[in-house]
Amino acid sequence: AQTVTQSQPEMSVQEAETVTLSCTYDTSESNYYLFWYKQPPSRQMILVIRQEAYKQQNATENRFSVNFQKAAKSFSLKISDSQLGDTAMYFCAFMSQGGSEKLVFGKGTKLTVNP
Amino acid sequence: NAGVTQTPKFRVLKTGQSMTLLCAQDMNHEYMYWYRQDPGMGLRLIHYSVGEGTTAKGEVPDGYNVSRLKKQNFLLGLESAAPSQTSVYFCASDGGRTSKNIQYFGAGTRLSVL
């Protein structure tokens, strides 16, 4: 079974600075998807970024980018120019390609952006 | 667009009571899921469905039942609630390749079992 590990339960960063959240996963599959979801205090789960494992190019979405290292099974999220609205729980998630589209989540990293 | 709608948003039950959580999606998605979120545990899959009339067990299915009689609805039932089922419950739907394999979540239901 796949597992997802987020080794940083909590992190903090100053507004306008850059922060990197770590995620590692374990799988024997070669084709899969990886996601970062954000959960602000409102509790709503919001997709931040998506990566397809067969694509070597790292995904980017505005201030959010990933460092995808397939061989190392690592999928870190970099947030540039941090904003107060980035304060949230961040979850890394894994999905096998094909089949039931189930997500396996890490336990999350609580990020606080300080003014 | 409503997306994924969960009802109710909050509920308090006494031990042994039953209830049903309703999830409705208007995106014509084939796949639907129920998760529970507990502090420090992330989201864990309870049950899921890969299409109308189908259901399957996830990681933590005990004490829950589900039904998917209509494609747009996915119901989660607790027949005899226990304090261990106090949690926040999330429903999600996914259209597979048509939605780039992205799961869309409802706003969650906070359930307390006393």
pLDDT of residue B98: 80
> What integer pLDDT is reported at residue B1 of this predicted model?
59
What confidence score (pLDDT) does residue A89 get?
A: 97
Parent domain of A42:
3-114
Q: How many domains does chain A have?
A: 1
**A6 to chain B: nearest residue by CA?**
B42
CA distance B88 to A16: 32
Q: Is residue A99 pLDDT above 90, yes or no?
A: no
Question: For chain B, how far is it from start to end, CA to CA, in angstroms?
Answer: 36
List chain A residues with CB under 8 Å of B100: 50
- Which positions in chain A touch B44 (Cβ < 8 Å)? 105
Task: Concatenate the DSSP letters of all residues of B54-83 into one string.
Answer: --EE-SS-TT-EEE-SSTTEEEEEESS--G
Taking CA–CA distances from A40, the nearest residue in chain B reads: B107
Domain of residue A24, CATH code: 2.60.40.10
3-state SS assignment for residue B79 = coil
Q: Beta strand A32-39 with A88-96: parallel, antiparallel or unpaired? A: antiparallel
Is residue A94 a contact partner of residue A79, using CB atoms and an 8 Å limit? Answer: no
Matching CATH number, B4-113, of 3.40.50.1400, 2.60.40.10, 3.40.50.720, 3.40.50.970: 2.60.40.10
Q: Which amino acid is residue B95, in one-letter code?
A: G
**What is the distance, to the nearest Å, from the Cα of residue B66 to the centroid of all Cα atoms in its chain?**
8
Query: Residue A59's closest CA among A84, A34, A40?
Result: A34
Domain boundaries, chain B: 4-113
C-alpha span between A64 and A55 (Å, rounded): 17
| pLDDT tens-digit readout, A28-61 | 988 999 999 999 999 999 999 999 999 889 999 9
Most confident segment among A96-100, B64-68, B101-105: B64-68
Nearest Cα residue in chain A from B6: A44
Per residue in B39-98, pLDDT (tens digit) is 888 899 999 999 999 999 999 999 999 999 999 999 999 999 999 999 999 999 998 888
Contact at CB, A100 and B31, closer than 8 angstroms: yes
Helix (H, G, I), strand (E, B) or coil at A71: coil
Residues B76 and B47 sit within 8 Å (Cβ to Cβ): yes
Question: How many beta-carbon pairs below 8 A join chains A and B?
Answer: 52
C-alpha B75/C-alpha B68 separation (Å) is 7
